[in-house]
Amino acid sequence: MMTSKNVENIKDSQKELKLIKSDKHYEIISNGVFLKSTHGGKSEIEMVKDGLFYLSDHKLENIRILIGGLGVGYSLIPAVEDERVEVVDVVEIHKEVINWNYQYFSEYNKDVINSDKVRVFNDDIGKYLEENSNKYDLILLDVDNGPDWLVRPENYHLYQSEGLNLLSESLALGGYIGIWTISEKQELEANLIANFDYVIMRSYQNIDSKRRSHYDYVYFSKTGK
């Protein structure tokens, strides 16, 4: 029988975060919504690998990546291990999630958060995009379960034209964005088609902690040829 225990529980006027350990693995619950688990992580890893593959017809060195949402750090693994990648900037709104990556998750994610390539910013991804002029070759958004299953209501604009324009403006020439979702999102796809020249959806099979199979999805987009 699987046993679960609360490791940490943080609640204030802005959020409620829980870190739960079930047998050998951790789960993050944010405002009552399941966020990430150290069990699995295939779709996060494959998202980065596919994004780098799409970039390979344009750029083969000094690649700069921006990831919105740290989670348990799995998306950092292929970015750090790829010798073409120069910088991996990660924006995470919850300082507790950042701390948990150092304290609890390093044995699961190969301690990539301590890589010299990685820079972690405790900030809101929308605010970061508005205030920074940095350009990235690959921008990956993994902060919600999708535009209709938000961890924070404030994230809604990220999936509309306003937020998509912010992402586009932060892309270097020939760059891609990737948006992770827990299911197919037709409205998101339509918004991307309206704002970008190229859109493709990839699906990734995952096995959860109860050995149930499900698919996660990533929408990749770029502007120009």
Residues 184-215: pLDDT tens digits?
Answer: 999 999 999 999 999 999 999 887 666 778 89
Report, in this order, helix, strand and coil percent for the chain, each rounded to 5: 30, 35, 35
Any bridge partners for residue 21, and if so which? 5, 26
Q: How far apart are CA 160 and CA 170, in angstroms?
A: 16
Give Cβ neighbours of residue 127 (< 8 Å, ≥ 6 apart). Answer: none
Which amino acid is present at 88? V
Side-chain-facing half-sphere of 203: CA atoms under 13 Å: 7
Cβ atoms within 10 Å of 154's Cβ, excluding its own: 12
For 73-98, the pLDDT digits (tens) are 999 999 999 999 999 999 999 999 99
**Comparing C-alpha atoms, which of 134, 154, 146 is closest to residue 219?**
146
In three-state secondary structure terms, 16 is strand
Backbone angles phi, psi at 157, to 5 degrees: -65, -20
Which domains are delineated in the chain?
Answer: 40-222 (3.40.50.150)
pLDDT > 90 in the chain, percent: 78
| Token duo for residue 32 | 């009552």
Contact 205, 213 (CB under 8 A): yes
Per-residue model confidence (pLDDT) at position 209: 62
